[in-house]
């Protein structure tokens, strides 16, 4: 790995990168197939990622057609790493086995360990046959859509490909590692004004929020739209808030602490609800929704907006909030959901949906075009990283726990081959132009 780090420090040419001898193995954050039963009988909250996550030395996979090996300088933690680490709702080895059965090349992914991680910023080491656009030495970020595109269904919107997978969750060789294997059509140019860890942080959540809110495949948000954003200071929400502000909308941010409310205001959002302070409880008990509280939320939103209801509700908490989300959306409004963190058996009162002509849209990650457009917004300085804390690869399990306990703000970064934070900036002038936007989350770090 020293050769790779030296090549980065010395600014090696593409030829030099091409001739760099690659190691036979590398360090990676993994879960083990023979441990999927260790949490049996425990609730998801009781499952401790520290017990299942390992740092292992794993074999370097061969690079196949239309693939690339990337030296990972930094990665970030996403909620899917929490799911993988607690083997819920199902162990991710089931995805790897299913993928492995599809072709001899895919069989490489079906291993007794799973290298996790769905974000990276780094340097291309090798490209496989057929790759034209990228070459060794290129500074890149990777989005997490792994797609085969052999089926016509995926050629209108790649997210509809039946062989669509999330890299590092439903495939092996993810980004929380020193080296990663990606499809070449996951690569995008690294924003030059950002450090490695900053560049690795928007990828998955920002692209997801972009499709959910901005794309025609999602809510197709318009200027002036009022958008209710759950978890506005979390991974998805911190980018959703920026996208709404940048697109001429009005975010109504929901968070759970005064610190998080301050961060939303620092981002430029004026309308913020602290759900802890207001004591909103949408369920009387496990089986009984509390409609009074739906109405109370609607009232709180109207108090902030001057009597308006949300045109769009940005949903992901799931069971806990979904009934309220459907209730508070404006007549003709849209509820766009990409997740169910608090449970996927949702409850809502359908009268409020059909009588008021609302729509529920399911959304999942983003196609290459959407991810590229989202990355362009970061490159041009319209959207900024929301990194609050950076860990080393050895400390990654602690970062996963922080996310599981909802004690983080924005995004958590992980240094893989980068020896220290703050490296990798290649356009200092551009950085200075936007630097004041980078520390809303860091200054609020506890
Ligand atoms: P995150 O960084 O943990 O942020 C989620 C936020 O949601 C938290 O900050 C929290 O904010 C809020 N929240 C959590 N539980 C809540 C509840 N019961 N009621 C109301 N608010 C709640 O996670 P993330 O990266 O944004 O991801 C969120 C979910 O989306 C995860 O389940 C993840 O797996 C999923 N996801 C799906 C996709 C996809 O492509 N389908 C992509 C990205 C993420 P407050 O405590 O401040 O309110």
Report the CATH number at residue 342. 3.40.50.720
Whole-number percent of the chain with pLDDT over 70: 99
- Asked if residue 211 has its Cβ within 6 Å of ligand 1, the reply is no
Give the pLDDT band of residue 284 (cuts 50, 70, 90). Answer: very high
Give the pLDDT band of residue 315 (cuts 50, 70, 90). Answer: very high
Q: Are residues 66 and 105 in the same domain?
A: yes
Task: Check pLDDT > 50 for residue 445.
Answer: no
Q: Which tens digit of pLDDT belongs to each residue from 136-155? A: 999 999 999 999 999 999 99
Q: Is 206 helix (H, G, I), strand (E, B) or coil?
A: helix
Residue 424 falls inside a structural domain: yes
Residue 108 falls inside a structural domain: yes
Task: Check pLDDT > 80 for residue 438.
Answer: no
Q: What's the number of domains the chain is made of?
A: 2
Q: Are residues 251 and 308 in the same domain?
A: yes
| Sequence-distant contacts of 36-41: CB under 8 A, at least 24 apart | 36/87, 36/91, 36/93, 38/87, 39/86, 39/87, 39/88
Q: Are residues 283 and 147 in the same domain?
A: no
| C-alpha pair distances (Å), 94 with each of 6, 43, 84, 364 | 39, 20, 11, 20
Residue 324 falls inside a structural domain: yes
Task: Check pLDDT > 50 for residue 168.
Answer: yes
Which pTM does this prediction carry?
0.97
Task: Check pLDDT > 80 for residue 184.
Answer: yes
Distance 165 CA to ligand 1 centre (A): 20
Choosing from 308, 329, 362, the residue where a domain stops is 362
Residue 214 falls inside a structural domain: no
What confidence score (pLDDT) does residue 439 get?
76
Q: Token pair of 337, please?
A: 């959901």
Residue 213 falls inside a structural domain: no
Nearest CA-CA partner of 58 in 83, 80, 30? 30
What confidence score (pLDDT) does residue 444 get?
43
Q: Are residues 305 and 399 in the same domain?
A: no
Q: Are residues 357 and 373 in the same domain?
A: no
Residue 287 falls inside a structural domain: yes
Choosing from 323, 347, 362, the residue where a domain stops is 362
Q: Are residues 22 and 128 in the same domain?
A: yes
Which residue owns the Cα nearest ligand 1 atom 9? Answer: 234
Assign residue 70 the CATH number of its domain. Answer: 3.90.180.10
Choosing from 337, 362, 387, the residue where a domain stops is 362
- Asked if residue 143 has its Cβ within 6 Å of ligand 1, the reply is no
Whole-number percent of the chain with pLDDT over 90: 93
What confidence score (pLDDT) does residue 1 get?
80
129 and 65 Cβ atoms separated by less than 8 Å: yes
What confidence score (pLDDT) does residue 6 get?
86
Q: Is 102 exposed, middle or buried (0-12, 13-18, 19+ CB in 10 A)?
A: middle
Task: Check pLDDT > 60 for residue 446.
Answer: no
Q: Are residues 242 and 189 in the same domain?
A: no
Q: Are residues 304 and 412 in the same domain?
A: no
Probe residue for ligand 1, chosen from 212, 234, 387 as the CB with the greatest number of ligand atoms within 8 Å: 234
Cβ neighbours, 10 Å, residue 203: 29
Q: Where do the DSSP E strands lie in 316-366?
A: 334-337, 359-362
Distance 404 CA to ligand 1 centre (A): 10
- Asked if residue 404 has its Cβ within 6 Å of ligand 1, the reply is no
What confidence score (pLDDT) does residue 143 get?
98
Pair type for strands 271-274 and 283-285? unpaired
Structural domain containing residue 346? 219-362
Q: Are residues 152 and 137 in the same domain?
A: yes
Q: Are residues 163 and 121 in the same domain?
A: yes
- Asked if residue 44 has its Cβ within 6 Å of ligand 1, the reply is no
Q: Which tens digit of pLDDT belongs to each residue from 190-236? A: 999 999 999 999 999 999 999 999 999 999 999 999 999 999 999 99
Q: Are residues 106 and 120 in the same domain?
A: yes
Residue 284 falls inside a structural domain: yes
Residue 251 falls inside a structural domain: yes
Distance between CA atoms of residues 335 and 411, nearest Å: 24
> Rounded to 5 degrees, what are φ and ψ at 275?
-70, -20
Task: Check pLDDT > 70 for residue 430.
Answer: yes
The per-residue pLDDT of the chain, averaged, comes to 96
Q: Are residues 380 and 275 in the same domain?
A: no
- Asked if residue 235 has its Cβ within 6 Å of ligand 1, the reply is yes
């Amino acid at each position: 790995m020293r050769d790779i780090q030296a090549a980065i420090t010395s600014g090696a040419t593409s030829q030099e990168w091409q001739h760099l001898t690659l190691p036979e193995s590398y360090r990676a954050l993994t879960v083990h197939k023979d441990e999927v039963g260790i949490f049996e009988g425990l609730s998801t909250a009781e499952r401790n990622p520290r017990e299942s996550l390992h740092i292992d030395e794993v074999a370097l996979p061969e690079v196949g057609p239309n693939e690339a090996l990337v030296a990972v300088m930094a990665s970030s933690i996403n909620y899917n790493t929490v799911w993988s680490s607690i083997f819920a709702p199902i162990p991710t080895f089931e995805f790897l086995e299913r993928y492995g059965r599809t072709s001899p090349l895919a069989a490489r992914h079906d291993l007794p360990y799973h290298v996790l991680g769905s974000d990276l910023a780094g340097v291309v080491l090798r490209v496989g046959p057929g790759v034209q656009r990228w070459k060794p030495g290129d500074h890149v970020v990777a989005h997490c859509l792994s797609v085969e595109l052999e089926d016509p269904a995926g050629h209108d919107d790649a997210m509809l490909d039946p062989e669509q997978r999330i890299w590092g969750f439903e495939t092996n060789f993810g980004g929380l590692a020193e080296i990663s294997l990606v499809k070449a059509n996951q690569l995008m140019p690294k924003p030059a004004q950002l450090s490695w860890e900053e560049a690795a942080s928007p990828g998955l959540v920002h692209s997801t929020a972009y499709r959910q809110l901005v794309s025609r495949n999602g809510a197709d948000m318009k200027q002036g739209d009022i958008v209710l954003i759950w978890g506005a200071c979390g991974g998805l929400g911190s980018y959703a808030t920026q996208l709404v502000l940048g697109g001429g909308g009005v975010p109504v941010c929901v968070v759970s602490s005064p610190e998080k409310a301050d961060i939303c205001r620092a981002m430029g959002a004026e309308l913020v609800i602290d759900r802890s302070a207001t004591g909103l409880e949408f369920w009387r008990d496990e089986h009984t929704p509390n409609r009074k509280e739906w109405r109370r939320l609607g009232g709180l939103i109207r108090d902030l907006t001057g009597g308006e209801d949300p045109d769009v509700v940005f949903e992901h908490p799931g069971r806990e909030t979904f009934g309220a989300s459907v209730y508070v959306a404006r007549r003709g409004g849209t509820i766009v959901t990409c997740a169910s963190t608090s449970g996927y058996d949702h409850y809502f009162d359908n009268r409020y949906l059909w009588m008021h002509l609302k729509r529920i849209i399911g959304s999942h990650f983003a196609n290459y075009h959407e991810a590229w457009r989202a990355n362009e917004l970061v490159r041009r300085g319209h959207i900024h990283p929301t990194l609050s804390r950076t860990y080393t690869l050895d400390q990654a399990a602690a970062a996963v726990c922080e996310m599981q306990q909802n004690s983080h703000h924005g995004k958590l970064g992980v240094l893989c081959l980068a020896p220290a934070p703050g490296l990798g900036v290649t356009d200092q002038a551009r950085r200075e132009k936007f630097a004041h936007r980078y520390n809303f989350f860091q200054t609020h770090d506890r």
